[in-house]
Chains A and B, each alone.
Chain A
Amino acid sequence: MEGFIIALFVCLVLALISKYLSIPAIPFYIIAGVILGKAGLGIVRSDEISQFFSSMGLLFLLFFMGLELKLDRIIANPSKVLTGGLIGLTVDMGIGFAAAYLLGFTLMESFIVGAAFYITSTAIIITSLIENRKLMSVEAETIIWVTVFEDLVLIIILAILSASDQNLLLFVVKIALALAVIYAISYYGKEFLVSILERDDEIPILFTFTAVLITASVALYLEIPETLMVIALGAAFATTDPNAFEQHARPFRDVFMVMFFVFFGVTIDFASGVNWSVVAIICTLAILSKLVSGMLIGLVIHGSALSGLEIWANMICRGEFSIALAVLYGSPIIATTIAAMVIVTSIVGSFTAKYSTWMRRGIVNRSRRKALMYRPHAGR
């Protein structure tokens, strides 16, 4: 318990520092976990309490993602979501998977590494777009839709990974039944839900918390993935009053997510035999592969390599979803690899996002200068 409180306190200090420097806090939480935990000083140990809080963090992260997942809007403009999304999926997932496989991971491990390699951090990207005042740029909208597409892919990945060791027919039937119940409740109980959310006492927040936990435990009982069910719950509740649900779920998500990151760091163990050159290669490729996909998206959607550069600069950060995959399906070696990748890309990515306008201006100025210096007949 003492370790738990130490970890909380360290996180609070780190959160203050990261806000002051306006860089994302996620890498710092992980680093703090690594230093305090198994791989470092060994002060903080993962126990039942911390595991409970971490799993809450994951559940509320996914519930929140479900709330944001407005399928009707995606269906309304599929071209925007699909073009950029598919380029990102093939390029990044392809490079990530191939690299992991060639570096000696098994097929299954490579799939998980590839998925974590592909999925960017919606939280970091959206925050940095807002903080760096880039919302109006044409690329911002493309970036946002690509992250929405990634959320969809994540759901599919979670479904594939959890279906692999089950009787498929029974699994699908159970999931379909659970989905039907969740959607029926939010469809027929819409007025009741809205009336609960409108109250100004503790009921709305208590209801939100309970709904998420009940869904997760029913899913566990039915042996279907609670991750998928919580996302579905969010998506179903989003049809009632998503803003109210977001407001009530936010405090839980914010606190539990920090625990989730720290205790992910705590459980990392360097003794598991990590090959650091492999980790270094993956981290470098994680940055380069987004350059390739960003350039392609920029050229295809906006017809401009500069747009591609802007997309790359903003989309380097991996974060919460990569770690979620590592926690759910990763071996210790995979967890360490993904942790390093998240730390490196989120720190590098926050700087490129901040200074991309300078970069862009530098390139434009240089090419302009080149054009001015260009003397076609100077050689004569």
Chain B
Amino acid sequence: MSAMALRSLNLPGVGTKYEIMTDKGDTIAIFFTKTGTIQMYTLEKGNQSPCAVVMTAVEARRLGNILTGAIIEADQESVEIAFSALSDLRVTIHTFFVPASVTGKTIEDLQIRTKTGATIIAVCRHDKNIVNPPPSFAFETGDAALVIGESDQIIKFEREIMVE
């Protein structure tokens, strides 16, 4: 990762610029402008004029999710965050809609942490968010759970807990 040339620069009045030079010599520049939009420029090696797109913050986040290879389905989103400073620590956050087999059971009953290592950090119920649900928290039909862990733990969680 450290070989990749990433340059960040704060331009007075404009915003923050990030520039990545790829191994093949292409350049990608991203500007978070003060106007709130995000501009992405791509410049092919040896070319003079870059291509530019303008995105809103939401669009940019979606693009970011796609680039990390994480979006699986439109309603079940997953985000992988890599902290390159912490010896490349990668954490995945995944949303799951709880199946019928789980409804009525508590987090303690399911032994989620001991079985899978993943942690439920939030549950979305009827458009309300319950952050950090206690072990005694019981699932209902229609709940969406936000699970955090390493990607292996998330896969384990999907196989062992989210069984139909």
| Chain A min CB distance to B77 (Å) | 28
The answer to whether A68 and B13 have CB atoms under 8 Å apart is: yes
- What's the minimum C-beta distance from B17 to chain A, rounded to whole angstroms? 7
Across-interface contacts of B49 in A (CB, < 8 A): 357
**Mask of A105-128 contacts with B, CB within 8 angstroms, 1/0:** 000000000000000001000100
Taking the complex as formed, is B10 at the interface, i.e. its CB lies under 8 A from any CB of chain A? yes
Query: B50 contacts which chain A residues (CB < 8 A)?
Result: 136-137
Tell which of A68, A69, A70, A130 touches B35, judged by Cβ atoms closer than 8 Å: A130
Report the Cα distance A35→B104, complex, angstroms. Answer: 74
B155 at the interface (CB under 8 A from A): no
Is the pair B52, A133 in contact by a Cβ cutoff of 8 Å? Answer: yes
| Residue from the list B13, B27, B52 in contact with A126, Cβ < 8 A | B13
- Within 8 Å of chain A (Cβ to Cβ): is B11? yes
Bound CA span A126–B31, Å: 13
> Given the complex of chains A and B, what is the CA–CA distance between A246 and B39 in angstroms?
21
Residue B29, interface by CB 8 Å: yes
Task: For the complex formed, measure the closest distance between the CB of A15 and the CB atoms of chain B, giving whole angstroms.
Answer: 15
- A68, A135, A147: the one contacting B17 at CB < 8 Å is A135
Identify the closest chain A residue to B54 (Cβ).
A133
- Asked whether, in the complex, the Cβ of B13 is within 8 Å of the Cβ of A135, the reply is no
Query: Is residue A73 within 8 Å, beta carbon to beta carbon, of the partner chain?
Result: yes
Minimum CB–CB distance for A251 against chain B, Å: 14
Q: Which residue of the partner chain B has the closest CB to A74? A: B12
Looking at A126, A129, A135, the one whose CB has the most chain B CB atoms below 10 A away is: A135
Contact B54 A136 (CB under 8 A): no
The answer to whether the Cβ of B22 comes within 8 Å of any Cβ in the partner chain is no
Chain B binding surface SS class = strand
With A136-B29, A357-B49 already in contact, the answer to whether A73 and B13 are too (CB < 8 A) is no
Determine whether the beta carbon of B14 is less than 8 Å from that of A136.
Answer: no
Q: Chain B residue with minimal CB distance to A246?
A: B34
Query: Do residues B39 and A130 form an inter-chain contact, with CB atoms below 8 A?
Result: yes
C-alpha spacing A29/B33, complex, angstroms: 25
List the A residue with the shortest CB-CB distance to B43.
Answer: A136
Q: In the complex, A338 Cα to B74 Cα: how many Å? A: 57
- Chain A residues in 8 Å Cβ range of B10: 70, 73
Assembly CA distance A141 to B17 (angstroms): 10
Q: Produce 1/0 per residue, B54-95, CB < 8 A to A.
A: 100000000000000000000000000000000000000000
Q: Is A148 an interface residue, CB under 8 A from the partner?
A: yes
**Taking the complex as formed, is A144 at the interface, i.e. its CB lies under 8 A from any CB of chain B?**
yes
B149 to chain A, nearest CB (A): 32
B41 at interface (Cβ–Cβ under 8 A)? yes
Chain B nearest CB, measured from A353 CB (Å):
15
Partner of B14, one of A69, A70, A144, A246: A144
Task: Note all chain B residues with C-beta closer than 8 A to A137.
Answer: 50
Contact partner, B31, options A70, A135, A148, Cβ 8 Å: A135
User: How distant is the Cα of A136 from the Cα of B9 in the complex, in angstroms?
Assistant: 12
A150 to B39 Cα, complex, angstroms: 26
Instruction: Name the residue of chain B whose CB is nearest to the CB of A132.
Output: B52
Which B residues lie within 8 Å of A136 (CB)? 27, 29, 31, 41, 43, 50, 52
Q: Are B14 and A126 in contact (CB under 8 A)?
A: yes
Most buried by B among A130, A144, A148: A130
A357: chain B residues within 8 A (beta carbon): 49
Jot down 27 A-B pairs with beta carbons below 8 A, ordered by A. A68-B12, A68-B13, A70-B10, A70-B12, A73-B10, A122-B13, A126-B14, A129-B14, A130-B14, A130-B35, A130-B39, A133-B39, A133-B41, A133-B52, A133-B54, A135-B11, A135-B17, A135-B41, A136-B29, A136-B41, A136-B43, A136-B50, A141-B11, A144-B12, A144-B14, A148-B12, A357-B49
Closest 6 CB pairs of A and B: A133-B52, A136-B41, A136-B29, A126-B13, A136-B50, A135-B31
